Homo-oligomer: A and B are copies of this chain.
């Protein structure tokens, strides 16, 4: 699926870039600064790597407008990170799968599969499911009863979508993810944990991406919701009735407990945990492994367990590093003070540790 090559002139036009160099030169692929060879174009999207760019063997470069000293022809772009995405897509265009249902797929009579959808081998579509136009279901997917999948969505192998799950358009779900398992709700009756029936669903809005082996539980009532444009990494857990706002990022192994609400543009770094019934305002950013026990106001950056404002959390961590020394200093102070007091004829302090 990789095109043989492009001239730099073609790339400049496609990326709306300004070319400094020979427009007839051909490059056959994209590669990072450290591994690109003379046939490849590389990219400088982060100024920290300027030295690596100067040392690169790449045959051409994509770079910001103000970078002029690279060792090869350079495509100057206003937004190099965005241009890089377009550049990679030129060399690696999305593969379009021929529509149709594989002969080994098992599709219930009462399911509706759009004729432009592609259904892979040994995928199961249960009764009442609705598969929209251009959807791609890879092999061995399970689509439960009544599940709805919007236009252009892509579902990778071994994904489980239980009844009550609805996906918007252009949703991507990576292999092994489970949407719609029962929320973790039990009530102890004095003898045993009785199951609280979980009769809600899961609503995933447009342009959401969900990572491999991630789990998103169905709501007790109503819906667990992931709003438009949010991206979720692998092995993330969202409990019942969680709502994640638009354009948020949840990095791998994050866990969000039941009924918590994340605003728009929230970023939770890897392994962060959020307690239940917590509200995180728009734009909250939590550093890796933070534990969030209570509400956080919009725009705050937090870190640690319990999560504290980032600046304070860092000062605490620095101070923790000096804690053993601090203990010694306090002991020294106590002894010294005691000696001074003795010289002044005072009795030892109560509870003195001297």
A104 at the interface (CB under 8 A from B): yes
Cβ < 8 Å to B, chain A residues 312-347: 312, 315-324, 326-327, 329-330, 332-334, 336-337, 340-341, 343-344, 346
Q: How far is the CA of A320 from the CA of B344 in the complex (A)?
A: 34
Contact (Cβ within 8 A) B334 A337 = no
Looking at the assembled complex, report how far the CB atom of A32 sits from the nearest CB atom of chain B, in whole angstroms.
Answer: 5
- Chain A, interface SS category: loop
Complex interface: chain B residues within 8 A of A31 (CB): 221-222
Asked if A255 contacts B252 (CB within 8 A), the reply is yes
A:270-310 near B, CB below 8 Å: 270-271, 273, 275, 288-289, 291, 293, 304-306, 308
Can you name 8 A-B pairs with beta carbons within 8 Å? A139-B142, A157-B160, A160-B176, A184-B211, A212-B215, A253-B253, A312-B321, A330-B330
Contact between B319 and A323, CB atoms less than 8 A apart:
yes
Query: Roughly how many angstroms separate A160 CA and B91 CA in the complex, as a whole number?
Result: 26
Contact with B along A233-254 (1 / 0, CB 8 A): 1110101000000010101110
How far is it, in angstroms, between the C-alpha of A35 and the C-alpha of B194 when the chains are bound? 25
Residues of chain A in range 2-37 having any CB-CB distance to chain B below 8 Å: 30-32, 35
Q: Is A199 an interface residue (CB 8 A)?
A: yes
A192 at the interface (CB under 8 A from B): yes
Binds B, one of A50-58, A59-67, A121-129: A121-129
Contact with B along A184-207 (1 / 0, CB 8 A): 101111001111110100000001
Residues of B with C-beta under 8 A to A157: 124, 142, 144, 160
A228 to chain B, nearest CB (A): 8
The 0/1 profile, CB within 8 Å of B marked 1, for residues 144-180 of chain A is 1000000000001110101000000000101110100
Interface residues on A, range: 35 or more
**A31-B221, A333-B330 as given contacts; A233 in contact with B124, CB under 8 Å:** no
Q: Does A106 contact B (CB under 8 A)?
A: yes
Is there contact, CB below 8 Å, between B235 and A237?
yes
Within 8 Å of chain B (Cβ to Cβ): is A118? no
Chain B residues near A315 (CB, 8 Å)? Answer: 323-324
Contact stretch, chosen from A68-76, A80-88, A109-117: A80-88
* A273 CB contact (under 8 Å) in B79, B271, B291, B334: B271
Residue contact A178 to B181, C-beta cutoff 8 Å: no
Given contacts A32-B222, A85-B197, A343-B344, contact A270 B257 (CB under 8 A): yes
In the bound complex, what is the Cα–Cα distance between A305 and B35 (angstroms)?
34
C-alpha spacing A30/B82, complex, angstroms: 48
B329 & A247 in contact (Cβ 8 Å cutoff): no
How far, in angstroms, from A217 to B187 measured CA to CA in the complex? 28
Q: Which of B126, B270, B322 contacts A255 (CB 8 A)?
A: B270
